[in-house]
Amino acid sequence: MIELRDVTKVHAGGVTALDGVSLSIGAGEIHGIVGRSGAGKSTLIRCLTGLDPATSGR
């Protein structure tokens, strides 16, 4: 299971990429992440994998 709770990521310069994101993915589930350019998709994945730590949340 993958779970994010109230994750916020603020980049240097004060730009908020993620603001209070919560997500729960159960074992065996398949999900896609879609959104327009600059929506925070890559930042979400980077926080999920630990490549870029979240500013707050877990």
Q: What average pLDDT score do residues 11-21 get?
A: 94
Q: What is the pTM of this model?
A: 0.85
CB-based contact 3:24 (threshold 8 Å): yes
DSSP H helices in 1-58: 41-49
Q: What average pLDDT score do residues 24-47 get?
A: 95
pLDDT confidence of residue 31: 94
Q: What average pLDDT score do residues 21-47 get?
A: 95
pLDDT confidence of residue 48: 92
Q: What average pLDDT score do residues 25-31 get?
A: 96
CB-based contact 9:43 (threshold 8 Å): yes
- Summarize pLDDT for 41-52 with one digit per residue, the tens: 999 999 999 999
